[in-house]
Amino acid sequence: MSNILIQQRPYLTRPEDIQGVAPFIADLLARRGVQSAQELELKLKHLHAPNLKGLEQAIELIDQAIDTQKKIVIVGDYDADGATSTALMILALREMGADVEYLVPDRFKYGYGLTPAIADLAFVTYTPDMLITVDNGISSHAGVEQAQAHGMQVIITDHHLTTKATPQAEAVVNPNQLGCEFPSKALAGVGVAFYVLANLASHRKKCGKSSANLSQYLDLVALGTYADVASLDLNNRILIDAGLKRIQQGLCRPGISALLDIAGRDPKSLKAQDLGFVIGPRLNAAGRMETMDIGIECLIAADLSTAYPLAQQLNQLNVERRQVEGQIKQEALAELEHIQLDHNDLPAALIMFEQHWHQGVIGIVAGRLKEQFHRPAIVFAADEDGIHIKGSARSIEGIHIRDSIERIAELHPHLVSHFGGHAAAAGLTIQKQHFAEFKTAFEALIAEQDESLFQATIWTDGVLPDLAFNVDTVEILQNLSPWGQKFPAPVFDGKFKIIDYRWLKDVHLKLKVALDNGQMVEAIAFNAADKYDFNPMLDQVHLVYELDKNEYRGNVSLQLRVLHLMQ
């Protein structure tokens, strides 16, 4: 990506209001909207009160279903959030004595969510009295009606955005539904499920009934929340921190332990980012390449001997996923080259379709294209019916991709069959015959956006004080984690004098640079040969970097991990 702009993050709150920390720490916290040092105390007691619309009705119905041994079926989603939500429901409800099974749609056969076909499948497979959705259902009007026609009570738990009236289910719990006053709109599907189950357990305990301790399942809540790239507001940071600590202490599900072992990661030193980049992709691979049942069975496995073979299967599916993804990305880039696009002549949105592309990985490919070209991207793959194509959309900051798709559906109702999602990611189904027309309409809509949105920008926390260039600062920043979506890891920038350099494997650039006070610091720029024009004849370099530790032969030293380099 060329012509990158480097800008300092604006202050969202006042640094002087954040007491008890170093000024540069108060500075970066204020750039993330922290209002006081109390927000750094990530304790479960600080979670928002459970004032979710529909929660009381949901608890009452599930409570009765457990008492009367009604058959319950959970309808989940085929991503990490859906898998952890489903596993959480199964484990907690069974602990409370419920007769409960689960069903996750085969993405290649049924597509997303509670469709009439899934309601039929649930009826034929389990003949349930109650159907509970997790991480889906907020737009499933027809699916809810079909389930009710089969004699089921329906409870929707979801977090996806909607601007329409909710389905006529017996209860709907979603912080993003109209009229819900719950303060955090960033709960993931597993977070919504946690609130329902924790308050159900509390209610049953007060009534002297069989209950469950939900805190033991916080590892699942942390994994699903982070892997779904939910915004890390205070509520989500508390949930993730609590779950991460359980994993670090070895108090997690055997399936999570197995996945970490196969990935060669030590749970004691696990970071929140590893939930999204180590465990999440392996779990997601099941839904992308085969069936999410493998992932759910791994998460609910009672012991390591049961979980380990499933974790190995997930790992192998992830290897296959990477291969397929790489192939599609290369084909997409070749297609972009074929139409002779360059960075100065890009359309406002990148919209692509090939008949043979794999439905399971198009979301990842769309994300890669979005990152590389700083444009919203929608990548389509063929549906099994031969008539429709399914798209995965990813967007840049400032362009709400779900609302953009909804706008096209309003302007051209024949162009969009189904859609749903969030600001940064969405899914949709269109007829193949309408692809060219949809592409033209969507590009035109996005082209109306402010031109400044298409300027790739790296946001930094500015210049780090010389006195903060030490390993202690790395520890301090790590203790302020979890970092992630809407609460990004600290990134600094500054100009340094080049003392020495060398190339590692002709690809990675290792630098020794000097601060103004004379202190020497090591820096590493991975894949620098492909990204930057480094001129060793110049004695200065402008780096955008994260602070890291370099551990070598028992010695621990500070290292700058370079995110961008300019001269």
What distance in Å separates the CA atoms of residue 480 and residue 29, rounded to the nearest whole number? 9
Task: Tell me the whole-structure pTM to 2 decimals.
Answer: 0.91
Could you tell me which CATH number the domain at 47-317 has? 3.90.1640.30
Helix axes 116-126, 141-149, angle to 10 degrees: 30
Residues 6+ apart with CB under 8 A from 10: 31
Token pair 């759910």 in the structure block, residue: 296
Let me know: does 222 contact 240? Beta carbons within 8 Å. Answer: yes
CA angle 541, 547, 553 (to 5 degrees): 105
Residues 6+ apart with CB under 8 A from 417: 388, 428, 429, 430, 431
- DSSP symbol at 484: B
Q: Which residues of the chain have pLDDT under 50?
A: 1
Q: Tokens standing for 2?
A: 């060329």
What distance in Å separates the CA atoms of residue 221 and residue 234, rounded to the nearest whole number? 15
List C-alpha distances in Å: 23 to 37, 206, 410, 454, 535: 12, 47, 49, 33, 35
What distance in Å separates the CA atoms of residue 526 and residue 425, rounded to the nearest whole number? 28
CATH 2.40.50.460 fits 5-11+458-566, yes or no: yes
Let me know: does 74 contact 101? Beta carbons within 8 Å. Answer: yes
Spell out the alpha helix ranges (H) of 96-178.
116-126, 141-149
Mark 20-37 as b/e (b = at least 16 C-beta within 10 Å). Answer: ebeebbbbbbbbbebeee
Let me know: does 160 contact 138? Beta carbons within 8 Å. Answer: yes
CB atoms within 10 A of CB 54: 21
What distance in Å separates the CA atoms of residue 224 and residue 240, rounded to the nearest whole number? 9
Let me know: does 242 contact 215? Beta carbons within 8 Å. Answer: yes
Amino acid present at 28:
L
Amino acid present at 543:
L
Residues 6+ apart with CB under 8 A from 454: 346, 348, 374, 375, 396
**Integer Rg of the chain from CA:** 25
What kind of architecture, by CATH, is found in domain 339-454?
A: Roll (3.10)
Let me know: does 72 contact 98? Beta carbons within 8 Å. Answer: yes
Domain with CATH 3.10.310.30 in the chain: 339-454
pLDDT of residue 333: 83
- Tell which phi-psi region holds residue 3, choosing left (phi > 0), alpha (psi between -120 and 50) or beta: left
CB atoms within 10 A of CB 111: 21
Let me know: does 201 contact 214? Beta carbons within 8 Å. Answer: yes
Stated as kind and residue range, the H or E segment containing 457 is strand 457-460
Let me know: does 61 contact 128? Beta carbons within 8 Å. Answer: no
Amino acid present at 7:
Q
Residue 144: phi and psi, rounded to 5, are -65, -45
Residues 6+ apart with CB under 8 A from 557: 471, 522, 549, 550
Strand order of the sheet with strand 350-353? 350-353, 377-382, 388-394, 425-431, 418-421
pLDDT of residue 342: 54
Domain with CATH 2.40.50.460 in the chain: 5-11+458-566
Computed over every residue of the chain, the mean pLDDT equals: 95
Stated as kind and residue range, the H or E segment containing 551 is strand 540-552
